[in-house]
Amino acid sequence: MTGGKEPPAVAITGLNKWFGSHHVLRDVDLTVRRSERLVICGPSGSGKSTLIRCINGLEPYQGGRIALAGTRLDGHREAEMARLRTGMVFQSFNLFAHLTVLENCTLAPIHVRRMGRHRAEDLAMDHLTRVRIPEQARKYPGQLSGGQRQRAAIARALCMAPEIMLFDEPTSALDPEMVEEVLGTMVDLAQSGMTMLCVTHEMGFARRVADRVVFMDEGQIIEIAPTDAFFRTPRHERTRAFLGQILR
Amino acid sequence: MSETFLRTAEVPPRAPPAAVGGPFAWVRRNLFSSLGNAATTLVVLALLALVLPPLFRFLVLDAVWTGGSGEACRPEAAGRPVGACWAFIHEKLGYLVYGSYPLAERWRPDAVFALMLLGGGWMLWLDAPRRGLGALFFFGVFPVAAYLLLAGAPALGLKPVPTGLWGGMIVTFVVSLVGIVVSLPLGILLALGRRSDLPVIRLACTLFIEFWRGVPLITVLFMANVMLPLFLPGDITIDRLLRPLVGVALFASAYMAEVVRGGLQAVPPGQAQAARALGLTELQILRFVVLPQAIKIVVPGIVNTFIGLFKDTTLVSIVGIADFIRVLESARIDPRWAAPSVPVTAYAFAALFYFAFCFGMARYAAFIERRLAAGEGAR
Ligand SMILES: Nc1ncnc2c1ncn2[C@@H]1O[C@H](COP(=O)(O)OP(=O)(O)O)[C@@H](O)[C@H]1O
Ligand SMILES: [Mg+2]
């Protein structure tokens, strides 16, 4: 399927998940190549966040399998491994409010990777420079603008050297004038060859960066297509209806 | 003005109009801004004028500061109206602080007070170096050192002093501090247990908390005093001071658990999720992400519980423990100090003592809140 010798970054087959009796992910199959950029879109409640969280090991699932770079994750230990291979960026930033930006970035490297404080701080400063907020390192999240907070959250995830970055609507909570700075950071990241799965409704970003676009509705993947084809010739009528609404 | 508008001249920012300054303006703005406000101000002033002068006269102007017995504080002997009999407090101070603790050994409680100030100050002073170490000292080393010093340790050359001889402020501080030192960690554990995913732990913690919250402290103290020995084999006797100590500590823990639980609920779930996504273990998430934020949120509630606990310790006098209030009671009925104003003086002193500590705790909590309000907040 991937055509190469090395296993795909993410391989999901027959994934099923229920919240109580609510079937939120139904027979999901998805393969993401290494260094591929995928944008996932779909109406609210279609299961995009849940899918991302399953890949990250944050949510248990009841059927199917997920493999990261060939390693299956089911069971507790594997879920923990998954978290170490993936970095997650949330819609609501979720920076640790009681820690400075720098401490946010060094917490996991120090306590999970057992890195020395100085090395962890150097690493954090590198990534904060990469997202262009090195001067905010000593501030608390509450003293930053929304765009700066989300970039700090991206730097925090990068400090754990993930193989795959997962984004769950990273710009939806931002004021319009701050969306661009966060998308810019994500474009930089994409150009560095990072494997990325992005839930977003920023179709401009999808056009610019994504290799393929996934459209989800009611817990199912409705359509997967290369970006150009997805926007030019959407095949499923639900995709067309969705694009019609969102692009207007 | 027409229907449409196009700005032609920029409006540069200007300084705000100067505030009307001076004390007169302040008084007007804060005390007499409306008819109702003015009336309230006048009523309050009248009440103060009614209460303050006699109080000041009693506590200071007419007070007796020196004297060796009640004689000095009797109006007919003094030949003038007599207010507070501070001479009485002065003579009894040793008894009020140490109870019947042997005179020769009183340096030991003094050392405990000094350690307490050191540990407390270290932990409470926010910018102190190595505050973690301070907390370890206060919650770990200090209790052990205090116990060895007060109770004695023949191995260390400290003569044993039975708890029956302890009294006064020592006992009040011991009971409150044991309550504080035990209730915070135990309360945190109980609060976490009550939110546990394991039904057995959740049920056990909920039952424990609701039991202690549902029973009055006096009942707890009587039960600890009378019933605890009944449950134990006859040859084991529990120290008479230890019984109410256990009761007070468990009682306070239940209240603390509910305060901490409120804090845990106020930390958004996204914080733990983000930490989990970074690969931190559940224990690390609690320790580095959730608890620090939860505790900061409930600092006022924690201090409030401490204040309540500090005052509630007076109830141990009911089960025969010579705490500060009980020692004060027995001092004031000393026939040598029979004088009309002695009881009032004694209670005034008690009020000042408790007020000073509780007010201090409240001010400290307010200071912490202001500190926490600055800077942090959004996630
Ligand atoms: N923790 C949860 N418990 C119960 N239902 C949930 C939970 N999280 C999400 N859901 C439900 O699952 C469905 C998919 O949610 P989600 O993945 O957040 O959708 P999306 O991110 O596409 O908006 C929704 O119907 C939502 O109500
Ligand atoms: Mg979502």
CA distances from B270 to A154, A175, A226, B149 (A): 15, 20, 33, 47
Q: Which of A169-178, B51-60, B132-141, B200-209 has the lowest mean pLDDT?
A: B132-141
Q: Is the CB of A46 under 6 A from ligand 1?
A: yes
Spacing of C-alpha A104 from chain mean position = 19
Is A107 close to B378, i.e. CB distance below 8 A?
Answer: no
We report the CATH number of the domain holding residue B126 as 1.10.3720.10
Task: Residue B208: give the domain boundaries.
Answer: 105-375
Report if residue B27 sits inside a domain.
no
Number of A/B CB contacts below 8 angstroms equals: 82
Distance CA(B222)–CA(B228), nearest Å, equals 9
A132 to chain B, closest Cα gap in Å: 19
Does the pLDDT of residue B93 top 60, yes or no? yes
Residue nearest to atom 24 of ligand 1 (CA): A45
Ligand that lies nearest to the alpha carbon of residue A17, given by its number in the listed order: 1
A212-217 and A195-199: which strand pairing? unpaired
Q: Which two tokens stand for residue A14?
A: 């027959």
First to last CA, chain A: 35
Residue B67 maps to a domain: no
Question: Residue B2 phi/psi, 5° resolution?
Answer: -90, 180
> In terms of pTM, does the model score above 0.95?
no
Length of chain B: 379
A160 to chain B: which residues are within 8 Å by CB? 278-279
Number of Cβ within 10 Å of residue A163's Cβ equals: 15
Distance separating alpha carbons of residues A91 and A171, to the nearest angstrom: 7
- Best of A59, A77, A94 to disrupt the B interface (most B CBs within 10 Å) is A94
A147-175 tens-digit pLDDT: 999 999 999 999 999 999 999 999 999 99
Does residue B98 fall inside a structural domain?
no
The number of folded domains in chain B is: 1
Which amino acid appears at position A62 of this protein?
Q
Spacing of C-alpha A68 from chain mean position: 14
The beta-carbon neighbor of A142 closest among B280, B293, B377 is: B377
Name the 3-class secondary structure at B212: helix
Continuous H helices in B223-341: 228-231, 242-266, 269-277, 282-284, 291-297, 299-312, 324-332
Percent above pLDDT 70 for chain B: 97
Do B294 and B263 touch, CB atoms closer than 8 A?
A: yes
Token pair 């006064």: residue? B168
| Residues in A 96-115 with any Cβ partner in B closer than 8 A | 96-98, 107-108, 111-112
Query: What b-and-e string marks burial along A84-122, b requiring 16 or more CB atoms within 10 Å of the CB?
Result: bbbbbbbbbbbbbbbbbbbbbbbbbbbbbeebeeeebbe
Q: What is the DSSP string of B113-175?
A: HHHHHHHHHHHHSTT-TTHHHHHHIIIIIHHHHHHHHHH--GGGTPPP--GGGB-BHHHHHHH
Check residue B38 and report its DSSP letter. Answer: H
Domain annotation covers residue B100:
no
**Nearest one of A5, A21, A32, A39 to A171, comparing CA atoms:** A39
Q: Is the pLDDT of residue B120 over 90?
A: no
Question: b/e per residue, B29-38, with b = 16+ CB within 10 A?
Answer: eeeeeeeeee
Whether the CA torsion A174, A176, A180, A183 is positive or negative: it is positive
A18, A24, A172, best to mutate for ligand 1 pocket (most atoms within 8 Å of CB): A24
**Alpha-carbon gap, residue B364 to B125, rounded angstroms:** 10
Instruction: Decide if B375 touches A, using CB distance below 8 A.
Output: yes
**Distance between CA atoms of residues B184 and B252, nearest Å:** 9
- Measured at the CA of B272, the angle between CA A16 and CA B199, to 5 degrees, comes to 70
pLDDT value for A2: 46
pLDDT of residue B376: 54
The residues, any chain, with a CB within 8 Å of residue B181's CB and separated by 6 or more, are B138, B139, B142, B143
Q: How far is the CA of A107 from the centre of ligand 2 (A)?
A: 26
Does residue B16 lie in a domain region? Answer: no
Residue B379: pLDDT over 60: no
In-domain check, residue B166: yes
H/E stretch holding B23: helix B22-31
Q: Using one digit for the tens of pLDDT, what is the confidence trace for B277-325? A: 999 999 999 999 999 999 888 988 999 999 999 999 999 998 888 899 9
The 10s digit of each residue's pLDDT in B163-213 is 889 999 999 999 999 998 899 999 999 999 999 989 999 999 999 999 999
A160: nearest Cα among A119, A199, A123? A123
Binning pLDDT at 50, 70 and 90, where does residue B49 land?
very high
Residues with pLDDT less than 70, chain A:
1-5, 74-76, 248
pLDDT in the model for residue B1: 56
pLDDT at B53 over 90: yes
**Residues A61, A15: contact at Cβ < 8 Å?**
yes
DSSP label at A5? Answer: S
Closest by CA position to B327, among listed B97, B154, B71: B97
